[in-house]
Structure 1
Amino acid sequence: MTVPLFKGVITALITPLRDGNVDESAFERLVERQIAAGVHGLVPMGTTGESATMHVEEHKRVVELCVKIVAGRVRVIAGAGSSATDKAIELVRHAKSAGADGALVVTPYYNRPSQTGLALHFEAIAEAVQLPMLLYNVPGRTGVDMANETVARLAIHPNVVGIKDATGDMARPSWMRANIDAAFDLISGDDPSCPGYLANGGVGVISVTSNVAPEAMVALYEAFMAGDLATARSWQERLIGLHKAMFLDNSPAPAKYALSRLGLCDEAVRLPLAPTAEAVKPAIDRAMSEAGVV
């Protein structure tokens, strides 16, 4: 039986800010809370970590800090994507030097490369750095969708070990399971459809919701993997409102608002993101209550 390199509930960490700077004390509290809740991995400096607006020095510092705090207790998969291939290589190299277990590399955004360009981009990174890499396909944010066939081409490379699939398309994991080696880790990047993704061959989720409700997400995953579908459905029904609430405003503002309600960090985000709108805060509060997050 093939054992996945990356699996389970992997939290796409927010980056707490205070007075315009990374709040390192709050970040440590958040990481320790995640580990205590039983998550299987952490992603610093992914999309939810506001990587697009972080200075390179901040980006690298947060990755280093995460690796240091975790100290080998769970997997650390460093966000390391960029529109520019050479910058992505720089960030993956740094992730390796910092001691991360892997890198999460998003499809280049804004410049909308062809499928050939996508393949060449990821192949260049995989050739440049000997570090396990997860592809990250999130067309709703990047403006480019990585075709299944491109994923299959890239999966041949030994450094490309899996994908974070944030499309919400349940046909994709089935196709990839049928056409790609079983050692390739299929990880959902969409909390609402996570159980469906697991049912179609997925091995985990890189989650926004688990920032706020890590224990519940772990319980959902473990019930599903144990074959207790009734319990897994019960957890999903309890969490579905929170899944949706995390995107009632520009992400990760709702997650930061929810964490501020728990007294764990400030709700500040960095421009051009705006703080969670007052009009949607009651809905987030209700979703937290329904999910049992207090």
Structure 2
Amino acid sequence: MLRVEGVIPVLITPFTEKHELNEPALRRFVNRFIESGADGLFCLGTNGEFFSLTAEEKIRIVEIVVDETRGRVPVYAGTGGIGTKETAELSERMEAVGADALSIITPYFLPLTQQELISHYKSIASWTSLPIVLYNFPARTGVHLEPRTVAELSSIPNIVGIKDSSGSFDTILQYIHATTPDFAVLSGSDSLLLWTLAAGGKGGVSGSANVVPALMTAIYARWKNGELPAAKEAQSLLRPLSELYKRATLPSVFKEAMNMMGLNAGPCRPPIAPPEPALKEELRTLLRRYKELGYIKEEIQ
């Protein structure tokens, strides 16, 4: 079974000015991440704007990423939806196009019980042989996977981990305590990456890696090498970026940063708007600082 660990960037979905998929840019992102030492690639996450993509667009994105990756790192495909059947069918199609694992966010909008969530995930797991990483993001979905629920689901052979984007370190600690060491608890909040690792988690799924992939992988590498002070220093450098992206709708700040680096992320799909001019200038200043520190290779435009 796949070992889920390390820094796994969430791929931004690049669009043209007409809001269509930009395939050459997506292929460039894949290689940029792999060259930066990423341990996997996460397609169709929140920062990938999965909520505004059609099923066919989602499948095409994963096809492109699988093709460009060529087995160098695992490819994770987000397939979560409101209904069990639609999620299972999309998961089955992602398996057919070559994804290595699935990430499945909880159903959203409906205030489901924990037993309903258990039944949902068990049904999907029976439809696919791929490893499944649960995805907890209660601020966006209105649904929270409780630790006892995660513990029960972790007994299913192909449910192998959870990405937690609650922003609560206590929730991460509870997941780690409720599951066995081979179950991968991943931070979905970049500010908690190092602390998740120190507590026994396996790594993180990172949106900030779209801007500073070398910084994210440095946190993990330094921690793994036992260089805790250096890992703490790298972790602290993320805070200014975290403060900026909180001031606009995801993933507009990340896309703006990538456009400033000439990476052609393009616009977000409406109704998400670009950052305000003052925020853009703060972002440009921060990117220049990251470049001075050696964490960005690209020229800042």
TM-score band by shorter chain is over 0.9
| Matching of residues 18-97 of structure 1 within 5 Å | 18=16, 19-97=18-96
Equivalent in the alignment of 1:11: 9
Tell me the secondary structure at the aligned position of residue 21 of structure 1. Answer: coil
Size of the aligned set, in residue pairs, is: 292
Q: Tell me which amino acid in the other structure corresponds to 1:44.
A: C
User: In 2 relative to 1, CA 266–41 (structure 1 residues): closer, same or farther, beyond 3 Å?
Assistant: closer
Quote the offset at 1:55 in angstroms. Answer: 1.1
Quote the offset at 1:159 in angstroms. Answer: 1.0
In the TM superposition, structure 1's runs of 4+ consecutive aligned residues that sit over 4 Å from their partners are none
Quote the offset at 1:4 in angstroms. Answer: 7.2
Are the aligned partners of 2:114 and 2:146 in contact in 1 as well (CA < 8 Å)?
yes
5+ residue gaps, structure 1 = none
Quote the offset at 1:266 in angstroms. Answer: 4.0
Q: Tell me which amino acid in the other structure corresponds to 1:64.
A: E
Are the aligned partners of 2:2 and 2:131 in contact in 1 as well (CA < 8 Å)?
no
Are the aligned partners of 2:13 and 2:265 in contact in 1 as well (CA < 8 Å)?
no
TM-score (norm 2): 0.93
TM-score (norm 1): 0.95
Identity %: 35
Are the aligned partners of 1:26 and 1:265 in contact in 2 as well (CA < 8 Å)?
yes
Quote the offset at 1:262 in angstroms. Answer: 0.3
* Distance in 1 (alpha carbons) for counterparts of 2:120 and 2:276: 37
Moved more, 86-95 or 172-181: 172-181
Moved more, 179-188 or 151-160: 179-188
User: In 2 relative to 1, CA 288–112 (structure 1 residues): closer, same or farther, beyond 3 Å?
Assistant: farther
Quote the offset at 1:113 in angstroms. Answer: 1.1
Tell me the secondary structure at the aligned position of residue 130 of structure 2. Answer: coil
* Distance in 1 (alpha carbons) for counterparts of 2:3 and 2:185: 10
5+ residue gaps, structure 2 = none
* Distance in 2 (alpha carbons) for counterparts of 1:222 and 1:209: 16
Deviations 1:239-293 (A, max 9, x none): 2211332332110111100000000014311122222222321222233233333
Quote the offset at 1:15 in angstroms. Answer: 0.2
RMSD (CA atoms): 1.5
| Matching of residues 89-238 of structure 1 within 5 Å | 89-238=88-237
